[in-house]
Amino acid sequence: MVLQLEHLTVRPLSPIASAVVEYLVAQVGQVSIIEARFVYKLPIMITAPEQAYTDQPVIALEKVSMRYGRGSEIFSDINLSLPAKSFTFLTGASGAGKSTLLKLIYLALQPTRGLVRLFGKDVQSLGRNDLQQLKRRIGVVSQDFGLIPHMNVFENAVLPLTAAGKSVSHIEADAKELLAWVGLGEKLNARPTTLSGGEAQRLAIARAVMNRPDILIADEPTGNVDPVMGQKLLRLFQEMNRTGTTIIIATHDPALTENVIADTYKISSGQIERGSML
């Protein structure tokens, strides 16, 4: 038996939530902890981005080729068009180029040839400041997490705001709530070097969603977390997508994709094709 619990509006980890879950478990006896956790209302900052959307694709790659140095091409003339509010999985064998493709989209790399458009803008024609403004609309969870080791968990999480020159005082409570939601509420002052792989990954995810991005790009976001947390994070991504964020996730994890209605693209032999999970 699976309960429909969407009407609950309690905040995560609050005493009321815990009491409700405990009551349901006691009464029904068949509510799994995973399902029960799903009823928690997501943190307040996971709301629709303010930007207006148009019909044009939010991410578009046109005849993009990429190679590192003088090596062979990783992609040759690939095209990809992702509409706003889409949820996309990117799959492919290890080394196929998933991370490279994501880096092209989140502007960490420039293609050898071809055109990358974000929000309808040709990114190669943009100046440095415009590019940085664009980057603020993209949340990134990279495989190496990209955490700053000498800053604590809270400071790492709010870095997108700090780097934008914004005050964090007005979102401090929300930021702490989000960190608590990903299970780092007790580790706000901890340094990333003291975190486990899973905790570091959750922190990277919290940072990526902190700025309410229009696009969230995650490279193997559940690679270091247990299945329960993996599902919880997936739920976070789904909720963000529901409220307007375009999601693109590179993953090897079939468990992540099997219960989600999403487009799937597979990279293989330097080409990208729409398909199903491996």
Partner 1 sequence: MSSPRPTPILPKGHGEERPLFVIMAIMAFLASLSLVLVLMGLRQSASWQNDLKSAATVQIIGEDTISDADKAADILRTLSSVRSVDILSEAEGRTLLNPWIGELDLPNDITVPALIRLEIDDTTFDPVEIERRLITAGIEATVDNHRQWSKNLSSTWNRVRLALFSLLAIILCATVAISTFATRSVLQVRRNIILVLGQVGATDSFIGGLFVKRFLGLGFKAAITGIIFALIFVGIFMLWQNMGTDETGLKIKVEFSDILWLIALAFVMGAISALTAGAAARRSIQNNHKSG
Q: Interface with partner 1 by CB under 8 A: which residues?
A: 106, 108-110, 128-129, 132-136, 140, 142, 146-148, 150-152, 154-155, 159-160, 162-165, 172, 188-189, 207, 211
For partner 1, the closer CB: 24 or 195: 195
- List the end-to-end C-alpha distance of the chain, in Å, as a whole number: 30
For partner 1, the closer CB: 78 or 104: 104
CB of 96 to partner 1, least distance (A): 22
Q: Are 269 and 97 in contact (CB under 8 A)?
A: no
The CA-atom distances, in angstroms, between 52 and each of 56, 58, 244 are 12, 11, 10
Please, what's the b/e burial string for 86-114 (b: 16 or more CB within 10 A of its CB; e: otherwise)?
Answer: bbbbbbbeeebbbbbbbbbbbbebebeeb
Spatial distance between the Cα atoms of 237 and 160, rounded to a whole number of angstroms: 18
For partner 1, the closer CB: 146 or 223: 146
CB of 135 to partner 1, least distance (A): 4
CB of 27 to partner 1, least distance (A): 34
Spatial distance between the Cα atoms of 56 and 208, rounded to a whole number of angstroms: 24
For partner 1, the closer CB: 82 or 102: 102
Spatial distance between the Cα atoms of 245 and 219, rounded to a whole number of angstroms: 16
CB of 73 to partner 1, least distance (A): 15
CB of 91 to partner 1, least distance (A): 23
In degrees, rounded to 5, the angle at the alpha carbon of residue 164 between the alpha carbons of residues 163 and 167 is 95
For partner 1, the closer CB: 23 or 68: 68
For partner 1, the closer CB: 31 or 171: 171
CB of 142 to partner 1, least distance (A): 8
Q: What are 170's two structure tokens?
A: 């007005």
Place of tokens 């803008």: 121
